[in-house]
Amino acid sequence: MDAASLVGVLLGLGLIIGAIFLGGDLSHFFNLPGIMIVVGGTIAATLITFQLKDVIAAFRAAIFVFSEKKSDPNDMVETMIELCSISRRQGLIALSRIEYENDLLRKACNLIADGSKEEMIRDTLNIEIESMKQRHFIIQDIFRKMASYAPSFGMMGTLIGLVQMLRQLNNPDTIGPAMAVALLTTFYGMLLSTLFFLPIAGKLKDRTLVELINLEIMFEGAISILEDNNPVFVYEKLSSYVPAKRRRPPRPTGAAYQTG
């Protein structure tokens, strides 16, 4: 669980709900037609803009933001150093007998074990990196678009409420409540945009940057393995991707991976 995301959402909702309680009744801020306009309209516009499979992938990614901790580049540094040590002790072919959790790392090590040249490995990993960037950009763009659609549909709901209110001007007692209901849709749109959609897009962008660092570490580590570099040299090279205060010291090799 990503504690920062959970705390942020709970804190934001808590402050807003607390402010509502201090100033009135929470039930006054519930309006089903307004919710239908904002939520339904935002989803409809998003489905018009993007393919269904991309929208589903975006919501899965949003769940991932809250359910998974952010990966640590130090882990990838340790992995590449371990693989470098294995290749030096048992040969490059040993890399093909290791079980990997990361599909791209498996591909890179299989290319190395098959005797591929550096240019081949470089081109393959660069294609994977660019493809990952494109996929993540689409997912982030979905939430950025939803962040712009929600306030627009909120304003649309407000206009609908104002039209309905103006049709009842002959009854002054209904003007105040009708105006309050009309403004609620704008509130819903702004709430979804600023507390959910934009933060999720920002969190996904942060995860993408970390993933790019991991891929760069993987790429440079694969090249180092191909060049049969010393693990100490590989650590000094790959740890440069991690801020100095967050770097882990190199650990003894030989325990992380076992060949079959």
Per residue in 72-118, pLDDT (tens digit) is 889 889 988 988 888 888 888 888 888 888 888 888 888 888 877 88
Would you say residue 1 has pLDDT above 70?
A: no
Tell me which residue of 29, 9, 81, 59 sits closest to 239, measured CA to CA: 81
Would you say residue 153 has pLDDT above 90?
A: yes
Structure tokens belonging to residue 88: 């030096």
Would you say residue 257 has pLDDT above 50?
A: no
Would you say residue 21 has pLDDT above 70?
A: yes
Q: What is the mean pLDDT of residues 158-186?
A: 80
Cβ-contact 92, 112 below 8 angstroms: yes
| pLDDT confidence of residue 189 | 94
| pLDDT confidence of residue 169 | 76
| pLDDT confidence of residue 259 | 43
Structure tokens belonging to residue 15: 């402050």
Q: What is the mean pLDDT of residues 2-23?
A: 84
Within its chain, how far is the Cα of 77 from the centroid? 22
Q: What is the mean pLDDT of residues 180-199?
A: 90
Over residues 109-147, the pLDDT tens digits come to: 888 888 778 888 888 888 888 888 899 999 999 999 999
Instruction: Tell me what percent of the residues of the chain surpass a pLDDT of 70.
Output: 96
Q: Please, which pLDDT band fits residue 193 given cuts at 50, 70 and 90?
A: very high
